Amino acid sequence: MEAQSSVNLNAPYFLELAGFDQLLQVLRQEDYRVIGPTIRDGAIVYDQVSSSADLPAGWTDVQEAGQYRLKKRDDQALFGYTVGPHSWKKFLYPSTMRLFLAHRRNGGFEVKEEPHEVPRLAFIGVRSCELHAIAIHDKVFLGGSYTDGSYQAHREKAFLVAVNCGEAGGTCFCASMNTGPKAGQGYDLALTEVCENSRHFLLVEAGSERGAHILDEVSHRPARPEEEAAAERAIANTAQQMGRQVDTTDIKDLLYRNYEHPRWDAVASRCLACANCTMVCPTCFCSTVEDITDLKGENAERWRKWDSCFTTDFSYIHGGSIRATPRARYRQWMTHKLASWIDQFGSSGCVGCGRCITWCPVAIDITEEVRVIRETDAVTLSKKGNGNGN
Amino acid sequence: MSTKTAEVETSAGVYVDPMLPRPYRVQRLRQETSDTFTLELEPEGGARELEFEPGQFNMLYAYGVGEVPISISGDPTKPAVLVHTTREVGMVTRAMRKLKPWDSLGVRGPFGVGWPVEKARGADVVIVAGGIGLAPLRPALYQVLAARKYYGKVVLLYGTRTPTDILFRRELQQWHSRFDLEVHVTVDRAMGNWRGNVGVVTSLIPRAPFDPHSTVAMVCGPEVMMRFTVQELERRGVATENVYLSMERNMKCAVGFCGHCQFGSEFICRDGPVFRYDRIQSLLAVREI
Amino acid sequence: MAIENLERILIEHPFFDGMKQEHMDLLVGCASNVRFDAGQFILREGEEANSFYLIRQGKAALEIYAPGRGSISIQTLGAGEVLGWSWLVPPYRWRFDARAIELTRAIALDGKCLRQKCEKDADLGFALLQRFSQVMVEHLQATRLQLLNVYENR
């Protein structure tokens, strides 16, 4: 049993910028591989970082439907941008993973358990929407009668340093999904960056005993009321800046009763079925398996890979695809995300991060699709008396 | 997925990783019709026998080729032999068809929710099967017959393509000769010396001897056949909440992780494959769902 | 068999459920008991269609003969079912063969006689057409399902 931490859970502490680097160092000393935002190929991605110098200090991102670019900021904020094409799912739920090895033996075969060498990962800069996405995956992979052992092992070892958003992106809509911009729970430590009037500091809160013990090792002091107020201001400001919004009132039934809405045809006429939205989505969890052998057939392997409901193979059963048209596939994706997910896992599958909007090559916007369906909802229209009521 | 935490406790109290195939050996492969065959399997190396509920399925792994969901067609009261009947429709089932006695096959399972055999006690039981759909229904019939006195009338209505496509022919004849079981077989097309019924399986429903107000119907076959069957059962007066269907979709993991088998908000692998009709009625009406 | 017996069989037959007594009386007058041994033709393609059959027992097959392929069975009918409606529509000729597969007992109704009675009594005509259209729809639906060839390996 470790000594009691002097840090109070959920109390704000003041952290100098140097303290942030100290935090990364402590995590490394604790044998964590530290993963955080960094710039690569003109985008902010998640990769190994060793100090604040690796972070995109002084950069922000400009996001719109189908558009993403980086831009210099007026200040040196470490977290002055929103989410990029990566999400943490690629670390907790690898895009390709071997499930087992098998080899021939005694005229039959033997299946070997796959040893999982799960690294201790510390995630730096987990946004509130991403914490929600991780909580959603927890329900998917750990909440049912079966659990995904690999996910569980990754998850248990991951140390989460959240950051409250000081800025909302053009495609963000977490406020209307009730998933941000302030991190509520599910983190070990949560940071708020304040970068105003030539002051630049961080506030930090511990959300777990594990987080408190790490914070013990980092220079900090209780935050002063005006520092707290500055942090609250920054977050409140973000909530006001949301680039998008979704009216989620009755959204499950809205989509369930609009399976035959003509809007699906309209969106299908633009959708390339490229699967980008499912790859960048932090909650999309579909996978497929691939069985392979070596040339002599002595050894066989099964690999699990991310899959997408936008492929025709996804719903293939002997002879044909159930969802043969892009219309059906887009409808499946969006209806699953916003409606059937609620029946399956008790919450929406959308966390309002806006990635699917930004990274859609033809700028399809899920918030716009919901808005149009809501405005032309057969039921609502017939109530208003200007629909045909069918 | 093979850490300790990935394991679940089965009804037999054994811990197994649901994602790892366990090797079974082929005892026997019987060609049933030109494109269907039955595999009788036994666990390799004295592993425990596999208890299952009628209507459940296993993921069968042909070494190095791939894995497919196949319903269990054997007798749940005789779990020593694991029996699967399937049709040769793709790469994996083609590889399985070529298996010889003592060859190995991987098995994961059993998975899913089966037929309401216990719940049907006290009522008449109508089993309507189309084509290979008889395979997942056979365990239900075995279980009903094993506790025959608890059920009212028991009727099996089976339709298939032609007389040569009739599955479990010898067993059907045995069942036919029982006095406590009504068996009607029909084929869509017949030539020559076929003396049985010709016509679709739904045409057997209007005159089948059961009390529609106290009947549990279990239906399995191609989706179109099931939809027509439900209509005919409804016309007889069977309440939709007493009709059960077994659904089929693409499956990869069988435990609700891979997302492939979604049918509206249902995961066929986990919430099905057997569903109460009234629960999925609205989904069946949506194309490409 | 006595007339009373025939009447009872007709009244109890689901096909005539809800028929008026006066119409039943007419029907009984047109009815007769028939039996066909296994293999025996009940009606032949191309022949005049002057009757229909309420099958009481046994099984009959609707067949068509194709040179080189033999007889193809389209549908079988059993106890409780109605065989034949060509007597209702011109040119009043059978389109298929019907053959008893096993010993089959039925009530034959004289369609020629009924046609004349229907001409005079629109009520009777409607009551019969209503029942036959029900049977025809059932067969049409079944045939459509048959056409789908749902068990075919795609």
pLDDT in tens, C94-125: 999 999 999 999 999 999 889 999 999 999 99
- Asked whether the beta carbons of A215 and A5 are under 8 A apart, the reply is yes
- Asked whether the beta carbons of A356 and A83 are under 8 A apart, the reply is no
Least confident segment among A120-134, A154-168, B98-112, C1-15:
C1-15
High-pLDDT (> 70) share of chain B, %: 94
| B283 vs A328: CA distance, rounded Å | 13
- Asked whether the beta carbons of A77 and A92 are under 8 A apart, the reply is no
CA distance B132 to chain C (A): 8
By C-alpha distance, the chain C residue nearest A317 is C154
Closest CA to A232 of A165, A302, A306: A165
Q: B258 vs A114: CB contact, 8 Å cut-off?
A: no
Query: How confident is the model over B187-205, as pLDDT tens digits?
Result: 998 887 899 999 999 999 9
Q: How confident is the model at residue B119 (pLDDT cuts 50, 70, 90)?
A: very high
Measure the N-to-C terminal CA separation of chain A; round to a whole number of Å: 66
Longest dimension (CA), chain B: 60
Residue B20 predicted with pLDDT over 70: yes
| pLDDT (mean) for B208-229 | 96
Per-residue DSSP letters for A314-346? GGEETTEESS-SHHHHHHHHHHIIIIIHHHHHS
Q: How confident is the model at residue A387 (pLDDT cuts 50, 70, 90)?
A: very low
Q: C81 vs B197: CB contact, 8 Å cut-off?
A: no
Q: Which backbone phi and psi does B183 adopt, to 5 degrees?
A: -120, 125
Residue carrying the six token digits 């119409």: C23
Query: Burial letters for A358-373: b for 16+ Cβ neighbours within 10 Å, e otherwise?
Result: bbbeeebbbbbbbebb
By C-alpha distance, the chain A residue nearest B90 is A318
CA distance A169 to chain B (A): 30
Chains within contact range of chain C (3+ C-beta pairs < 8 Å)? A, B
Instruction: Give the DSSP H or E segment for A284.
Output: none
- Asked whether the beta carbons of B260 and A307 are under 8 A apart, the reply is yes
| A273 vs B157: CA distance, rounded Å | 43
- DSSP 8-state symbol, A6: S
Residue carrying the six token digits 């005892």: B27
Query: How confident is the model over B234-257, as pLDDT tens digits?
Result: 999 999 999 999 999 999 999 999
Q: B262 vs A322: CB contact, 8 Å cut-off?
A: no
Query: How confident is the model over A305-338, as pLDDT tens digits?
Result: 999 999 999 999 987 899 999 999 999 999 999 9
Q: How confident is the model at residue C2 (pLDDT cuts 50, 70, 90)?
A: low
CA distance B157 to chain A (A): 25
| A264 vs A271: CA distance, rounded Å | 10
Q: B249 vs A152: CB contact, 8 Å cut-off?
A: no
Question: Does residue A261 sit in helix, strand or coil?
Answer: coil
Cβ neighbours of C18 (radius 10 Å)? 8
Name A192's bridge partners. Answer: A164, A203
Residue B14 predicted with pLDDT over 70: no
- Asked whether the beta carbons of A175 and A239 are under 8 A apart, the reply is yes
Q: B188 vs C149: CB contact, 8 Å cut-off?
A: yes
Residue A183 predicted with pLDDT over 80: yes
Q: What per-residue confidence (pLDDT) applies to B251? A: 94
Please name the amino acid found at residue C104. Answer: T
Please name the amino acid found at residue A244. Answer: R
A277: Cα separation from own chain's centroid:
12
Q: What per-residue confidence (pLDDT) applies to C13? A: 87
A360: Cα separation from own chain's centroid:
16
Per the model's pLDDT, the better-predicted residue between B47 and B265 turns out to be: B265
Whether chain B has a CB inside 8 Å of the CB on C73: the answer is yes
Q: What per-residue confidence (pLDDT) applies to B7? A: 42
pTM of the model: 0.91
Q: C72 vs B191: CB contact, 8 Å cut-off?
A: yes
Q: What per-residue confidence (pLDDT) applies to C153? A: 65
| C99 vs C91: CA distance, rounded Å | 22
Please report the residues numbered 9 through 68 in chain C whose beta carbons come closer than 8 angstroms to any beta carbon of chain B.
59, 61
Whether chain C has a CB inside 8 Å of the CB on A317: the answer is no
Interhelix angle B277-284/B223-236, rounded to 10 degrees, is 120
Question: Does residue B85 sit in helix, strand or coil?
Answer: strand
CA distance B261 to chain A (A): 7
Q: How confident is the model at residue B47 (pLDDT cuts 50, 70, 90)?
A: low
Which spans in C3-84 are helix H?
Answer: 3-12, 21-30
Residues in B closer than 8 angstroms to A107, CB to CB, are: 102-104
Residue A389 predicted with pLDDT over 60: no
Q: What per-residue confidence (pLDDT) applies to A380? A: 63
- Asked whether the beta carbons of A266 and A324 are under 8 A apart, the reply is no
Q: Is B237 left (phi over 0), alpha (psi -120 to 50) or beta?
A: left
Question: Does residue A146 sit in helix, strand or coil?
Answer: coil
| pLDDT (mean) for A86-107 | 94
Residue B33 predicted with pLDDT over 80: yes
High-pLDDT (> 90) share of chain C, %: 66
Please name the amino acid found at residue A298. Answer: E
Q: How confident is the model at residue B211 (pLDDT cuts 50, 70, 90)?
A: very high
| pLDDT (mean) for B40-58 | 89
Chains within contact range of chain B (3+ C-beta pairs < 8 Å)? A, C
Instruction: Give the DSSP H or E segment for B16.
Output: strand B15-16
Q: How confident is the model at residue B50 (pLDDT cuts 50, 70, 90)?
A: confident
Average pLDDT for chain A = 93
Residue A378 predicted with pLDDT over 80: no
Query: How confident is the model over A24-72, as pLDDT tens digits?
Result: 999 999 999 999 999 999 999 999 999 999 999 999 999 999 999 999 9
Q: What per-residue confidence (pLDDT) applies to A2? A: 57
C82-83: strand order across its sheet: C31-36, C104-110, C51-57, C82-83
| B80 vs B83: CA distance, rounded Å | 10
Residue C3 predicted with pLDDT over 70: no
Closest CA to B27 of B82, B92, B87: B82
- Asked whether the beta carbons of B251 and B261 are under 8 A apart, the reply is yes
Q: What per-residue confidence (pLDDT) applies to B16? A: 59
CA–CA distances in Å: residue A194 to residues A47, A58, B214: 24, 13, 71
Query: How confident is the model over B143-157, as pLDDT tens digits?
Result: 999 999 999 999 999
Sign of the CA dihedral running A343, A344, A346, A348: negative
Residues in CB range of A137: below 8 A, 6 or more apart = A89, A92, A93, A151, A283, A285
Residue B15 predicted with pLDDT over 90: no
Q: B198 vs C74: CB contact, 8 Å cut-off?
A: yes
CA distance A319 to chain C (A): 5
Q: How confident is the model at residue A384 (pLDDT cuts 50, 70, 90)?
A: low
Name B24's bridge partners. Answer: B43, B105
Residue B220 predicted with pLDDT over 60: yes
Q: Is the peptide bond before B79 cis (omega within 30 degrees of 0)?
A: no
Per the model's pLDDT, the better-predicted residue between B12 and A80 turns out to be: A80
